Structure 1
Amino acid sequence: MQLSNEEEDYNLSLSKFESMLKTNKVLFFDSEEFEEIILHYLDMGKAALAKKALKLALDQHPKSTGLKLVQVEMLVFDDKLELAEKLLNELYAIEPTNEEIYIQKANIYSKRDQHEKAVELLRIALKYTDDNADVYNLIGMEYLFMDNLEMAKESFIKCLEEDLEDQSALYNVVYCFEFLDQNQEAISYLKKYIDKNPYSEIAWHQLGRLHYGVKEYENAIRAFDYATLIDDEFLGAFMEKAKAFERLKKYEEAIESYSRTIELDDATSYALLRMGKCYEKLGNSVLALKYFNETVHEDPLLDKGWIAITDFYVRQKNFQKALFYVNKALAIDNQNRLYWKRFASINKQMNFFEEAEFGYRKAVEFGDHSLETWLFWVDILQFLGEFESAIQTLLQASEYFPEENEVEYRLAGLYFMLTDTTKAKFHLSNALRLNFENYILLEDLFPVVWAKKMVQNYIAKHKKL
């Protein structure tokens, strides 16, 4: 690719400057060359070289406003705000219509969290600048800092009216619309934007995302198609298109799009996992397993991969294989509540109740506080005859579910089993109050208790109340 004259001059200036540093010879550069050199080093994160270039630049051009503004930028970057402000005031006295002075002053106020004052200064900069788009963008960012999303959105829209190609402003406009829960308005805006700039793959991609967000999957696919026609290596658009195809149950088309993302870049565990899920939906168990295995090979820490393989074998009722894979997962991460819950469930299916109890206990220990998990755990403790432990577990569960009839019925049944009639009646009364019809739980879980005349009478009495 042929370089433009400007790029050649720029590269020549850099080479000349770096050569000067190596030889310690002082060479002359005009002030604009120095500005570009300094900003290049700042962009590269080479602050020491930028400062060295600035010192040499000011030695050669002590009166250059442009260089002094670069100096201000570096002082602000180093949080030397008072020094930067002092220098700006000196420059303002010389050039009161230089928009960069107001922009840098605004930057200082922004650093001090005085964002309204920053906006005031940026609005003054608008009077003097030739680059309205850049200033509107900065105003938009200040409103974002203030959490004023409506004004931020308005500023970014104005930025795009000045410069249709400003991609960061386009992303920010969409962000504002989404944050304000204005998805349909965002769709309308993007359609108008696309009328003016039909070859913006970013706009088509964002339009597709928004359609996807409101479940308009056909429209989403159409938008992603345009994005990938404009840029046939737009990985994000292929990925989003695949997800939309999945939603429409068009699994073969989804696989094709996921495959394209793998062609464009290294395979991601997400794409491999989704391909496995699609093949499973198509009834192709061999390829489903192939991609699930590739998922965990690509990213052994991705729990969704291990869960996909485990659940696959559970659905096949191959509990031995399912247990093998969940144990492999636990060997990598033994604090994952999702793994422990599956470990418990699989062992329960295989009638290994002590292992199942251990699994549910671990799942709760590592943060699974769902009602289902508590109840599975308690029912196994009851099956194992560990009534006291089951009661303690239910009392713990009741802290998370204080008004849950299934907890109360179980507490009633267990206290009856331990012949603690007072507590049993208290919890049975609570359970019947919360959901009378569910008393059938006693018959299912505690047939011995259900058979007691006293329990039958107590339920009948409660029914009359």
Structure 2
Amino acid sequence: MHYSQEDENFPITRFESMLKTNNILFFDSNDFENIIHHYLENGKIALSKRAIKLGLEQHPSSINLRLFQVEILVIENKFKEANNLLDRLHNIEPTNEEIFIQKANVLSKQDKHQQAIDTLLIAIDLSNTPEDDADLYALVGMEYLFLDQFENAIIYFKKCLEGDTSDYSALHNIVYCYDFLNQHTEAIDYLNIFLNTNPYCEVGWHQLGRQYFTIKDYTKANAALDFAIISDDTFVGAYIEKGKVLEKLKQYEEAIENYKITLALDDPTSFALLRIGQCYAKLGEEDLAVQFFKKAIDEDALLDKAWIAITKFYMKRLNYQKALYYINKAVIIDGDNAAYWKLYATVNKRLNFLEEAERGYKQTLELGNFELDTWLNRTDVLITLGEHDAAIFNLLQASEFYPENAEVEYRLAGLYFTVHQPEEGSFHLKNGTRLNIDYNFIISELFPQLTDKPLIKAIISEAKKTSN
């Protein structure tokens, strides 16, 4: 049923004035259905219930009003009552497809997805209208998604698109399934067939561009995104993807143009501003690069990629003071970001601010970044600071994550010899030489005072003999 806005609002206005005055007015059952639908759409459950109650008083035999009752029961998680009511309705009208659709909805809400699918297939058999079938196929597809049966989901989303080519969510779901199955060539084949019959579908071209981007065919990706933009020249997502493709093709000026179009079409996104900054950096336009990095940060102070980009930009140019200024600000804004602390540690280490560097690595580890180089860098800073016991403790923790690691073992050996525990030192040095003899330079590099120790020399030369 298609109403204009005024037609649709008239029964609602009449209904609400009736509620205020307590005068009972008569509405036909269609009006009640529209009133209830309006309240459900707007989440006004109490008013929906009032309308259902009054509707059934005036039209006690209306199956559709009873089906709205089922919807309310489902919203309230009263599945048993919903089922009982559906069984009663099924006895009255055994071929009403709506009853099966609602039954499937109840089953789905109870995680009985296979039963929901079987029930929806009955509804499809009973249905007389191809448009409704498209919606039902989409529902079956969703149930298969719940079951992680992506191949089956694809079949039904495709059937849905055959019935309704404008159902973009079905198209998105098909591509999502292909992505999940890593079937990019299949996705590309399907999208090309779909676009042959729907050549102006900007969503299809956009998805095709993204698939080509994934398989690194940037020229084809670029062409597909051009078609998306021809089909809809205000499609922000297509310009963003095209910018990413042009960056891969090293066409930085054109990439900037595409990102800038998105700024004009919509509210600026920190992502686009950051990418423009990165492109200017690649072109050597340093002032513009910094300008756009700052804009990205102003747009979204929590965008860690922007803080990291501006810090690394200055590090690359060996301007560590500036790099430190920005990473300090980032750490203040979001102190729980391990990537910030790691960068903070690196910058401080370059500036020889060792206590701060150590603090940075410690925070990085505490926030769950257990990369090997974090453990090793923290150890090396602690060694330089003369904190040998702390360095040993740090490495013993690291060895739980990285057992049998030569870089850890050589460092432990050097530390134990330094704190005059030659037995532990020998044990770890033998481990290190067994794991990788080539790493023995760690001893002379980090512990130059130990290089001439006879015991250490003997262990290393013994290992060299056996490894040759």
TM-score band (shorter)? over 0.9
Partner of 1:415: 416
Task: Give 1:342 deviation, angstroms.
Answer: 2.1
SS in structure 1 of the partner of residue 26 of structure 2: coil
Corresponding position of 2:227 = 226
SS at match of 1:338: helix
| Matching residue of 1:85 | 83
**Matched residue type, 1:52:** R
* Map of 1:260 onto structure 2: 261
Query: Is it true that 1:286 corresponds to 2:268 in the alignment?
Result: no
Please list the CA deviations of residues 380-413 of structure 1 after superposition, one character each: whole Å capped at 9, or x if unmatched. 2111222222111111111111111011111111
Deviation at 1:56, TM superposition (A): 2.0
Q: What's the counterpart of residue 344 of structure 1?
A: 345
Distance 2:3 2:449 in 1: 93
Task: Tell me, in whole angstroms, the C-alpha distance in 2 between the residues paired with 1:299 and 1:406.
Answer: 40
* Paired position in structure 1 for 2:117: 119
> Helix, strand or coil for the counterpart of 2:381?
helix
For the pair 1:151 / 2:152, whether they are aligned, the reply is: yes
CA distance in 1, matches of 2:82, 2:360: 62
Residues 66-85 of structure 1 show CA distances to partners (whole Å, capped at 9, x for unaligned) of 22222222222222222222
Identify if the C-alpha distance between structure 1 residues 105 and 215 changes in structure 2 by more than 3 Å, giving closer, same or farther: same
In the other structure, the counterpart of 1:10 is: 8
Q: Pairwise CA RMSD of aligned residues?
A: 1.8
Give 1:433 shift. 0.8
| C-alpha separation in 2, matches of 1:393 and 1:82 | 58
Q: 1:5 and 1:415, CA in 2 relative to 1: closer, same or farther beyond 3 A?
A: closer
Deviation at 1:6, TM superposition (A): 4.5
Q: How far did 1:132 drift?
A: 1.4
How far apart, CA to CA, are the structure 1 residues paired with 2:159 and 2:211? 21
> How far apart are the structure 1 equivalents of 2:301 and 2:423?
52
Deviation for aligned residue 1:23: 4.4
Relative distance call for 1:219 and 1:128 in structure 2 (3 A) is same
Rounded to whole Å, the distance in 2 between the matches of 1:236 and 1:376 is 41
AA at the equivalent of 2:448: P
Tell me the CA shift for residue 459 of structure 1.
1.4
The corresponding residue for 1:365 is 366
Shift of 1:428: 0.8
Aligned mates of 1:75, 1:5 — CA distance in 2 = 28
- Show the counterpart of 1:311: 312
Q: CA deviation at 1:290?
A: 0.7
Corresponding letter in the other structure for 1:364: L
1:140-179 → structure 2 map (5 Å cutoff): 140-179=141-180
Deviations 1:396-450 (A, max 9, x none): 1111111110111111112222232211111111101111122122222222212
Aligned residue number for residue 192 of structure 1: 193
* TM-score normalised by structure 2 residue count: 0.94
Q: CA deviation digits over 1:31-63, x for unaligned, max 9?
A: 122212211211111112222222222122111
CA offset digits 1:97-128 (Å, max 9, x no partner): 11111111111222222222222211111121
Cα drift, residue 94 of structure 1? 2.0
Equivalent residue number for residue 73 of structure 1? 71
| 1:464 CA displacement | 2.4
Matching residue's letter, 1:452: K
Q: Following the alignment from structure 1 to structure 2, what is the Cα–Cα distance between the partners of residues 121 and 355?
A: 64
Aligned residue for 1:328? 329
Q: CA deviation at 1:7?
A: 4.5
Change (3 A) 1:354 1:7: closer
Equivalence for 2:95: 97
1:420-439 matched pairs, under 5 angstroms: 420-439=421-440
Query: Once the 2 structures are TM-superposed, how far is the Cα of residue 5 of structure 1 from its aligned partner?
Result: 5.8
Mapped to 1, the partners of 2:15 and 2:260 lie a distance apart of 47
- Aligned letter for 1:171? H
CA distance in 2, matches of 1:209, 1:271: 17
CA distance in 1, matches of 2:73, 2:343: 57
Task: Give, in angstroms, the shift of residue 363 of structure 1.
Answer: 2.0
Distance 2:211 2:16 in 1: 48
Report sequence identity in percent: 53
Alpha-carbon separation, structure 2, partners of 1:25 and 1:180: 60
What's 1:63 paired with? Answer: 61
In structure 1, distance between residues paired with 2:109 and 2:3: 38
Task: Kindly provide the CA deviation profile for residues 114-155 of structure 1, in whole angstroms up to 9, marking residues without a partner as x.
Answer: 222222211111121122112111111111122211111111
Cα 1:220–1:25 change in 2 (3 A) is farther
Aligned partner letter, 1:174: V
Q: Which amino acid aligns with 2:63?
A: T
Query: 1:275: which partner in 2?
Result: 276
Q: Which residue is 1:243 aligned to?
A: 244
CA distance in structure 1 between the aligned counterparts of 2:136 and 2:354, rounded to whole angstroms: 67
Instruction: Name structure 1 gaps, 5 residues minimum.
Output: none
Q: Mean alpha-carbon deviation: is it higher for 450-459 or for 127-136?
A: 450-459
Shift, 1:284, TM fit: 0.7
Q: Return the alpha-carbon distance in structure 2 between the equivalents of residues 21 and 288 of structure 1.
A: 63
Which one-letter code corresponds to 2:294 in the other structure?
N
State how far apart, in whole Å, the 1-side matches of 2:154 and 2:359 are. 53
For structure 1, which segment, 318-327 or 423-432, has the greater mean C-alpha deviation from structure 2 after superposition? Answer: 318-327
Is structure 2 residue 446 aligned with structure 1 residue 445?
Answer: yes
Query: Structure 1 residues 217, 24: closer, same or farther in 2, change over 3 A?
Result: farther
Mapped to 1, the partners of 2:105 and 2:351 lie a distance apart of 66
Residue 181 of structure 1: SS of its match in structure 2?
coil
CA distance in 1, matches of 2:24, 2:252: 67
Within 5 A, what are the aligned runs for 1:387-426? 387-426=388-427
Write the distance in 2 (CA, Å) between the matches of 1:298 and 1:128: 53
Tell me the distance in 1 between the aligned counterparts of 2:355 and 2:324.
15
Q: 1:456 to 1:158 in 2, by over 3 A?
A: same
Matched pairs, number? 462
